[in-house]
Amino acid sequence: MSAGSRATAAIVRAARVPVRAESDHRSEMVSEWVCGEVLDTGERRADWVRTRGPDGYEGWVHGGGLLQVDGATAEEWRAGAQLYSLGIRLDGPDASPDAGALWPTPAFLPWGARARPAGDAVRLPDGHEVRPSEPGRLVNDAGRRRRFPPEPSGLVATASAWCGTPYVWGGRTRAGADCSGFVQAVFAAHGVALPRDSREQLAVGPVIDAAHPDPGERRAGDLLFFGGSGTEITHVALCLGGTRILHSAAANGAVAADDLDDPPAALADLPERLRGVTRPLG
């Protein structure tokens, strides 16, 4: 950053950075940012920074996982970071104890992380160039669009590969995801940007039937939204067709498939909590 310029943005340099409700490590993790994402920054409290991510979500992040930069530097990184990670281990040079510090570069890039091409290597936000262990799991934007077209069968295939991903409140990667984080990450790979929370995701795409959702009208790739006793939306699931869904639920402990006609005992009330169905793929 040039002399006299002020940090108004940040680039995530750690593999994953927890986003917290308050500026405290003990505060609730409400989401997470991944390496290469560009954030807007605001209020600062000691080592903590108030951030807003590409999806508009806001929360507090410890500055240790960020490169705080000016707007021009952030835009330069965003324009050049054309590689999209599908979850990949990175091979960096061996750390030497004599060097006085361990290698600071992330050992992996989670799902959705961004990097720059650098010949046979990739360049990370901290400037280091490392080699991907499986180059096929790091695709450029054109390759991502070919590999993940915005159509239902491909979307379901991508989502199904997440089966077994642990349920983690605030998570949005294959290391752990909550219901809306799972849905957001899968749709993002297919070029469809969704908000972070399920109640906001309900506003994206035409509503199929908000009052009396008919299983016969649902298609693979639709989203089903569930609530509690009131009107607030508390859960989202991906439709596999009809009454079958794929979702990240705490009751299952992981991303798993269920059938609303015969849900497991821990989710027995899920069918009656259905509040609406949308079709983000149009």
Question: Annotated active-site positions, please?
Answer: 179, 235, 247
Q: How far apart are CA 264 and CA 111, in angstroms?
A: 29
Q: How far apart are CA 236 and CA 202, in angstroms?
A: 9
Residue 245 and residue 183 in contact, taking contact as beta carbons nearer than 8 Å: no
Ordered alpha helix ranges (H), 161-225: 179-189, 198-201
- Cβ contacts of 164 within 8 Å, gap of 6 or more: 254, 255, 256
Q: How far apart are CA 24 and CA 193, in angstroms?
A: 29
